[in-house]
Chains A and B, each alone.
Chain A
Amino acid sequence: MATPEISRATSAALVVEATGPLALVEDAGRFGARHLGVTQGGALDWISLGWANWLLRNAPDAAGIEIAMGGLKLQATSRMPVAIAGADLGATRDGEALPANGSFVLEPGQVLAFDQPRAGLRAYLALPGGIDAEPFMGSLSTVAREQLGGLDGRGSALRVGDRLIAASATADTREMPFAPAMPQEEATLELVTGAQIAHFDGASLFAAFNQAWQVDSRADRMGVRLTGTALRCRLGGMISEGIPLGAVQVPPDGQPIILLNDRQTIGGYPRLGALSPMACARLGQCAPGTAIRLSPVSPQQARRAYLRQLALWR
C-alpha cells in the first residue's frame, strides 16, 4: 500500500509545523506477536479514532493521529478533507474555531492547530483513507518503548517537518450523528471480573467497587495508576502470565494499575479482571484527578456493549 518515495515527497500532505507533548500515529494495534514480547499498541480511545475515520468513510481502524494534550500545528500542502473526534483541544483552522467532532476541508496553506485540553485528553485526526506509511507486523501503531511503528517505523512521535500523507486522494465526508461526551470530573468504568479476584479479601472487594478512585498523575500509554483505599490480596508472588488489555492489577502497595495498550505482554501481579474495551477508551480521556468508579460486569455484558459500538459504524 505504501506510495513510492518520489510521489510521497510531492503528494498531498499535512506538514508538521509544531508538536506538543505527544502526537502519535495509531491504528487498532499490532496483533499476533504478543508471544514474541511485542505489545499491542494502538489508539487508547479507539472509539474516537473510529468516529474520526467514520466521518471520512474510512475503515474504523485506519491509522490516524492520536494527539495527547494538544500543541500540534499542521499545514496543508493542498486541498484535503480531514476529520477530528475525541477530546476538545480547542482546534482551529487558520484561527477559526472548529467543533471537537466533525469533518472539514483544509485548503492549501491553511493551518490546523490543536491548543490544549478543555474536555478529555486525546483528540484523533483522520486523513482520507488513513495515513500512508510502511506498517510493521501489520500496524502503524507507534510504540516508543519498542522502537516500532510511526512514520519512520522506529517508534518516533511526530516531529517538526514530518509530512502526513493521506492514503487516499480524497474522501466522501459525513456529519457526526451526535456529540460524544468526554469524561469530566468523574467516570464509571466497566470491569469484567475474573483472574485472581477470588483471592482478594471481602473488605477489599467492597472498597474496589464502592469507593471513588482517583486517576493519578502517573499515567501513560502503558498504564494508569489509581489511588484510594489500598486493596489486599491473599496471593503472594505470582508466576508471570499473559496480560489482556485493561487488566486491573494490584501490586503489593494495594493501589491498582490499569494496563493499557502499550503494556508489557506478561506480568505477575494479581488482578481483579480487566476493563471492557469501552471503559479502556473512556479511561484514555480521563485527566489526573478524575474520580473513577469501577462497575463489575460479565464478559457477556461487555461484549454486547462492544458489538453495539461496532454496529454503529456499519
Chain B
Amino acid sequence: MSQSPSPVVSPSFGIETVGMDALIVRLFDAIDEAHMPWILAADNALRDRFGEVLIDLVPSYTTLLVHYDVARLSQREARQWVGEALRGLEPASTEAGREHRIPVWYDDSVGPELTRVAERLGVDTDEIVRRHTGRDYCAFALGFSPGYAFMGMIEESLATPRLKTPRQKVAAGSVGIAERQTAIYSMRSPGGWNILGRTAVELFDRERDEISLFRPGDRVRFEPISREAFIEQGGDTTPLEER
C-alpha cells in the first residue's frame, strides 16, 4: 500500500549530537511503512553493540535516539560504536514485528467523530468503519503516554486534522485518527485526535509479562465488534463526552 517501493540498498545514515549522552541516528527523512524493517534492524544492531552501556534506545519513524552511559563511553566512542553497529545493515524481515488484532466498538457514543467524518465524506458510518478496518497498520513509534502507539498510514480519504480544541479527557481505549495516523489512548488523558470508537484491550498492563502490548514495528489490524461483544470483553460503555 505504500507509495514508494521498499529500499533495497542499505540507507545512508547520519549521526547527530543531541545532548551530553545522547545521539540521534537518522536513517530516513520521510514517514513510510517500508522504512520500519530498517529501523527495527538498526534497533537490534544498536542494542547488541551497546549492550549494558545502553540506557535507552528510542526508535521513531525515521530515527533512533541512543542514550548511553556517559560514565563509561565518550561521545566520540559512541559515534564509532554506532558506525560499527550499522555497517552492512540488512533490513529486518517484514514479519519481524508482531501482529495484533484489536476489537473495536465503533459507535457515536464512544466515538463522537465517527459521524462527523462520515458526513464530511458523504458516506455512512459503516463505510468509515470499513475503511478504518480495511488494512494493517504499522506502529511507527510509542510515545505521548505509556503504551500509546502512533500507527499508520490510514487511507487518504480518512485523513482528518486534529480537533481545534483538544478534549480535557479522552477515555482509555479510545481509538482515534489524526491526519494519516491512528492510535489508541492507552490511559485517560487530554487529547486532540478524532475519536471513532473504543476497545476493551489494555495497552499498558503492569500485571502482564509484556507490559506494553505494542512495540515499535508491530502490525495492527482493527476489527469491528458489537456493543454486546464489547461489554463481554469488559469494555466501559460510558459515553465519551460524559464527565
Residue A105 at the B interface, CB < 8 A?
no
Known contacts A195-B24, A242-B63, A36 near B70 by CB under 8 Å: no
Known contacts A36-B142, A264-B144, A192 near B19 by CB under 8 Å: yes
- Complex Cα distance, B59 from A264, in Å, reads 14
Contact A37 B146 (CB under 8 A): yes
- Total chain B interface residues with beta-carbon distance under 8 A: 47
Restricting to A1-52, which residues have a CB under 8 Å from any CB of B?
31-38, 40
Q: Which of B29, B43, B146 contacts A148 (CB 8 A)?
A: B146
Report the minimum CB–CB distance from A142 to chain B (whole Å). Answer: 14
Residue B17 at the A interface, CB < 8 A?
yes
Report the minimum CB–CB distance from B21 to chain A (whole Å). Answer: 7
Restricting to B194-222, which residues have a CB under 8 Å from any CB of A?
204, 206, 211-212, 215-216
- Complex Cα distance, B202 from A249, in Å, reads 32
Residue A240 at the B interface, CB < 8 A?
yes
Restricting to B47-102, which residues have a CB under 8 Å from any CB of A?
55-65, 67, 70-71, 74-75
Hey, which chain A residues are within 8 Å of B31, CB to CB?
239
Contact A266 B60 (CB under 8 A): yes
Contact B20 A37 (CB under 8 A): no
Known contacts A244-B67, A273-B18, A299-B19, A35 near B62 by CB under 8 Å: no
Residue B45 at the A interface, CB < 8 A?
no
Residue A70 at the B interface, CB < 8 A?
no
Hey, which chain A residues are within 8 Å of B149, CB to CB?
37
Closest residue of chain B to A245 (Cβ to Cβ) is B19
Residue A253 at the B interface, CB < 8 A?
no
- Complex Cα distance, B59 from A32, in Å, reads 13
Report the minimum CB–CB distance from A259 to chain B (whole Å). Answer: 11
Contact A32 B143 (CB under 8 A): no
Contact A242 B19 (CB under 8 A): no
Contact A36 B215 (CB under 8 A): yes
Q: Which of A37, A247, A299, A306 gathers most chain B CB within 10 Å? A: A37
Contact A241 B21 (CB under 8 A): no
Q: Mark A116-140, 1 if CB is under 8 A from B, else 0.
A: 0000000000000000000011000
Contact A241 B142 (CB under 8 A): no
Hey, which chain B residues are within 8 Å of A247, CB to CB?
18-19
Q: Mark B129-147, 1 if CB is under 8 A from A, else 0.
A: 0000000000001111111
Closest residue of chain A to B22 (Cβ to Cβ) is A244
- Seen from chain A, the residues whose Cβ lies within 8 Å of a Cβ on chain B are 31-38, 40, 136-137, 145-148, 153, 192-195, 239-247, 264-267, 271, 273-274, 276-277, 299-300, 302-303, 306-307, 310
